[in-house]
Amino acid sequence: ETSPGAYRNRLRLENAYQMLCTRSLPPKEVAFELDFYDVFHFSKAFKRQFGLTPTALLRRLETIGRF
């Protein structure tokens, strides 16, 4: 069973993933828009959830010609 806080955090991270993939915003702006404490905590939580940092995701998208 997931706690309400963990559920909320997972939703924010999933939103962050979508924002990074579709809007090509810098991680700092995504963290701010989704009300993370700071970009460091956002990046750490993102990596724990998805296995790569937001910056690494953007680099990967650039490599495949997404942006």
23 membership: H or E segment, kind and range: helix 4-23
Tokens of 33: 């828009």
Count Cβ atoms within 10 A of the Cβ of residue 56 and give its class: 0-12 exposed, 13-18 middle, 19 or more buried. middle
* pLDDT tens-place string over residues 17-59: 999 999 878 999 999 999 999 999 999 999 999 999 999 999 9
- The DSSP symbol for 53 reads -
Question: Higher-confidence residue: 67 or 4?
Answer: 4
Q: Is this structure's pTM higher than 0.75?
A: yes
